[in-house]
Amino acid sequence: MSSEPFIVNGLEGPVLASLGGNLELSCQLSPPQQAQHMEIRWFRNLYTEPVHLYRDGKDMFGEIISKYVERTELLKDGIGEGKVTLRIFNVTVDDDGSYHCVFKDGDFYEEHITEVKIT
Q: What pLDDT, in 10s, does the model give residues 33-78? A: 999 999 999 999 999 999 999 999 999 999 999 999 999 999 999 9
pTM above 0.85, yes or no: yes
The yes-or-no verdict on residue 29 having pLDDT over 80 is: yes
For 20-68, list the strands marked E by DSSP.
Answer: 23-30, 39-43, 50-55, 58-59
Contact between 87 and 73 under an 8 Å Cβ cutoff? The reply is yes
The yes-or-no verdict on residue 1 having pLDDT over 50 is: no
Q: How many CA atoms lie within 13 A of 22 on its CB side?
A: 10
**Per-residue pLDDT tens digits for 5-23:** 899 999 997 999 999 999 9
Whole-angstrom distance, CA of residue 88 vs CA of residue 84? 13
67 three-state secondary structure: helix
